[in-house]
Amino acid sequence: QITLKESGPTLVKPTQTLALTCTFSGFSVSTIGVGVGWIRQPPGAALEWLAVIYWNDVKRYSPSLKTRLTITKDTSKNRVVLIMTDMDPVDTATYYCAHTFYTPESYYWFDNWGQGTLVTVSS
Amino acid sequence: QSALTQPASVSGSPGQSITISCTGTSSDVGGYNLVSWYQQYSGKAPKLMIYDVSNRPSGVSNRFSGSKSGNTASLTISGLQAEDEADYYCTSATSSVTLVFGGGTKLTVL
């Protein structure tokens, strides 16, 4: 059974850096094809893809947020970390991490999601 | 990259069929068979309903089906049930090897 859980601060101030951790079980991010992505959702708004990291350390970022995002993985601890710099109130959202699997013909779908964590950006 | 275009809302009566459209460009929806659909209840995490345009994950009802024509993908729900009332999001891979979401569609079961 695959489970994921997001953790991190619930409140950050404008201009601060956010670090979110996704801790998972039921799979290993060192297994060929496996990836973990981050998706966020502002209150009452649509989902927005942020980033994904794969077993081979390939990383992809949202073009609009690329300069502010860093995604890393810790295979031994079953964790993936997302760092977002220069936080702004518009970044207030529920942040989700999710499991994915890559093949050349099939990718960018997320079949298991964490419960999400609400991050509020306010002074 | 711009968000994919979905209708803000659709509605239908129990037992009917409804279709939600998802319009992109040749650089995303039209260029790849990598469209997925998610169902999201209020306050809950999304659930994968369709991937690779028309494939259903194990456990998803066969009342849900996906298709694509040109730059527009569609999610069809047949035999509409009250429990289908939720928000639905489409996604597509892009030519930049990134992912783009649609703006979401609120389905109301009358």
Please check whether residue A93 is in contact with residue A40, taking contact to mean a CB–CB distance below 8 angstroms: yes
Determine the pLDDT at residue B2: 81
Cβ partners under 8 Å of residue A112, min gap 6: A2, A3, A4, A26, A98, A99
Determine the pLDDT at residue A122: 97
Q: Is the pLDDT reported for residue A93 higher than 80?
A: yes
Facing residue for A47 by CB, picked from B89, B96, B97: B89
Among A2, A3, A40, A47, the residue to mutate for chain B (most B Cβ within 10 A): A47
Which residue on chain B is closest to A52 by alpha carbon? B98
What confidence tier does A25 reach under pLDDT thresholds 50, 70, 90? very high
Cβ partners under 8 Å of residue B48, min gap 6: A109, A110, A111, B36, B37, B38, B57, B60
Please check whether residue B100 is in contact with residue B6, taking contact to mean a CB–CB distance below 8 angstroms: no
Using a CB-CB distance cutoff of 8 angstroms, which residues of chain B are in contact with residue A111?
A: 48, 51, 57
- The pLDDT of A92-107, averaged and rounded, is 94
List the strands of the sheet with A18-25, edge to edge: A3-7, A18-25, A79-84, A69-74
Q: How far apart are CA A48 and CA B102, in angstroms?
A: 9
Contact B46 A52 (CB under 8 A): no
Facing residue for A49 by CB, picked from B45, B100, B104: B100
pLDDT, tens digit (0-9, with 9 covering 90-100), for B37-80: 999 999 999 999 999 999 999 999 999 999 999 999 999 999 99
Using a CB-CB distance cutoff of 8 angstroms, which residues of chain A are in contact with residue B98?
A: 49, 60-63
pLDDT, tens digit (0-9, with 9 covering 90-100), for A36-70: 999 999 999 999 999 999 999 999 999 999 999 99
Determine the pLDDT at residue A105: 87
Contact B47 A52 (CB under 8 A): no
Using a CB-CB distance cutoff of 8 angstroms, which residues of chain A are in contact with residue B47?
A: 113
Q: Are strands B9-12 and B105-109 parallel, antiparallel or unpaired?
A: parallel
Question: If interface means Cβ-Cβ distance under 8 Å, which residues of chain A face chain B?
Answer: 37, 39, 46-49, 52, 60-64, 96, 105-111, 113-116
Going through chain B in order, the beta strands assigned E by DSSP cover: 9-12, 18-23, 35-40, 47-50, 64-69, 72-77, 86-93, 99-101, 105-109
pLDDT, tens digit (0-9, with 9 covering 90-100), for A73-82: 999 999 999 9
Determine the pLDDT at residue A40: 98
Please, what is the average pLDDT of chain A? 97
Q: How far apart are CA B75 and CA B61, in angstroms?
A: 13
